[in-house]
């Protein structure tokens, strides 16, 4: 089946606008290759930017071995963080309306704020260490425009790496005193410890994820830019949330983030 990226991007845009999930593209359109999936993602993001959206940075997905095994892949994927999808954090608390989401789940991550461009090829963690201005604990709300999360790699890549929203806690510019691979993470939903992990859960080191992304973007003719926020990948399993959920993310050494999911 011939795939026109813009057509599938339109389907995703409509699904997102109307909060109405669609069948997986690997079924409905025979989508198979990842390159085409990224072209669909790019077409969708271009559509959003055409609506006046702006880019905050990037997110990295599928960084844990468990998620990669589940989807039968051996590398991460990435999506774009849009300003309109940010859940503003005030005094450590973000409020999100459930009307934004279809089938949301939350993940605990470490966000990077870059002070310099990172352009591949061959970007290493040493470059990431040099370019990083600050880090923060961040709750990513992942959400799928694909019905019942029946995703393969190509579906989630096209669907902006299943990004739904994100809440970034206060930036910590003293991150150089921390070993990001050894930060413990606890994600509480309704006061229950629902997901735990550590920095090393994301490809061994969150900064290694950022390096991977810079090199991946280079292969696609792009780069990470000074000022970009990069969500470096989940440190533990994702947890479903619903209306009324109160989520608290604690990462050792960083300020916590609370997210309340209202009506």
Partner 1 sequence: MSSIDVRELCGQIADSRRNRTPRGSLSETGSLPLDVAYQVQATMAREREAAGDSIIGYKLGLISPDKQRQMGVSEPIIGHVHRSMIINPGEPVRRDRFIQPRMEPELAVVFGRPVGEGARPGQIAAAIDFVLLVIDVLDSIYAGYRFTAGDVVADNASGGAVVVGSRVLPADVLFDGDDRRLRLLTGRTWHGGSVDSLGDPIGWIAWAADKAASLGRGVRRGDMLLLGSPCPAVPLPEAGPLLAEGPLGSHVLARVE
Work out which of 69, 182, 193, 240 binds partner 1, going by CB under 8 A: 182
Q: Which of 54, 44, 79, 96 is nearest to 222 (CA)?
A: 79
Q: Which distant-in-sequence residues (6+ apart) come within 8 Å of 108 by Cβ?
A: 137, 138, 139, 185, 186, 187, 195, 197, 234, 235, 236, 249, 251
Which of 203, 214, 217, 257 is in the footprint of partner 1 by CB under 8 A? 203
Question: What element of type H or E holds 140?
Answer: strand 132-142
Quick one: which of 106, 118, 208, 213 contacts partner 1 (CB under 8 A)? 208
Largest CA distance in the chain: 53
User: Least distance to partner 1 from the beta carbon of 60, Å?
Assistant: 13
* Residue 184 touching partner 1 (CB under 8 A): no
124: contact with partner 1 by CB under 8 A: yes
* Torsion sign over Cα 163, 167, 170, 175: negative
Q: Which residues of 120-135 are buried (b: 16+ CB within 10 A; e: fewer)?
A: beebebebbeebbebb
- Candidates 145, 205, 216, 248: give the one binding partner 1 (CB under 8 A): 205
Cβ at position 172, least distance to partner 1 in Å = 13
Sign of CA dihedral 144, 145, 149, 153: negative
Least Å distance between CB 49 and partner 1? Answer: 32
DSSP state for residue 199 in the 8-state scheme = G
125 belongs to the binding site for partner 1 (CB under 8 A): yes
Q: Does 214 bind partner 1 (CB under 8 A)?
A: no
Nearer to partner 1, 107 or 127 (CB): 127
Least distance to partner 1 from the beta carbon of 56, Å? 25
Q: What DSSP state is assigned to residue 117? A: -
How near is the Cβ of 31 to partner 1 at its closest, in Å?
Answer: 30
Interface positions with partner 1 (CB under 8 A): 121-122, 124-127, 129-130, 176, 178-182, 200, 203-205, 207-208, 211
């Amino acid at each position: 089946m011939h795939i026109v990226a813009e057509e599938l991007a339109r389907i995703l845009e409509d699904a997102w606008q109307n909060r109405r999930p669609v069948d997986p593209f690997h079924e409905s359109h025979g989508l198979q290759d990842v390159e085409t999936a990224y072209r669909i993602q790019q077409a969708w993001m271009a559509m959003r930017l055409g609506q006046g959206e702006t880019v905050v940075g990037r997110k990295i997905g599928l960084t844990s071995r468990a998620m990669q095994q589940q989807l039968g892949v051996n590398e991460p994927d990435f999506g774009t963080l849009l300003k309109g999808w940010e859940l503003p954090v005030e005094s450590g608390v973000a409020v999100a309306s459930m009307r934004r989401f279809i089938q949301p789940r939350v993940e605990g991550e470490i966000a990077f704020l870059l002070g310099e461009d990172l352009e591949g090829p061959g970007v290493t963690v040493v470059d990431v260490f040099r370019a990083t201005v600050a880090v923060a604990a961040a709750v990513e709300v992942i959400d799928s425009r694909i019905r019942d999360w029946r995703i393969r790699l190509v579906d989630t890549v096209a669907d902006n790496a299943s990004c739904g929203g994100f809440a970034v806690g206060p930036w910590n510019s003293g991150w150089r005193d921390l070993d990001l691979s050894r930060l413990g993470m606890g994600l509480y939903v309704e006061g229950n410890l629902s997901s735990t992990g550590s920095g090393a859960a994301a490809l061994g080191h969150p900064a290694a994820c950022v390096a991977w992304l810079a090199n991946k973007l280079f292969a696609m003719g792009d780069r990470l830019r000074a000022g970009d926020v990069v969500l470096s990948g989940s440190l533990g399993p994702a947890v479903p949330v619903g209306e009324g959920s109160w989520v608290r993310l604690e990462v050792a050494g960083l300020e916590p983030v609370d997210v309340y999911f209202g009506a």
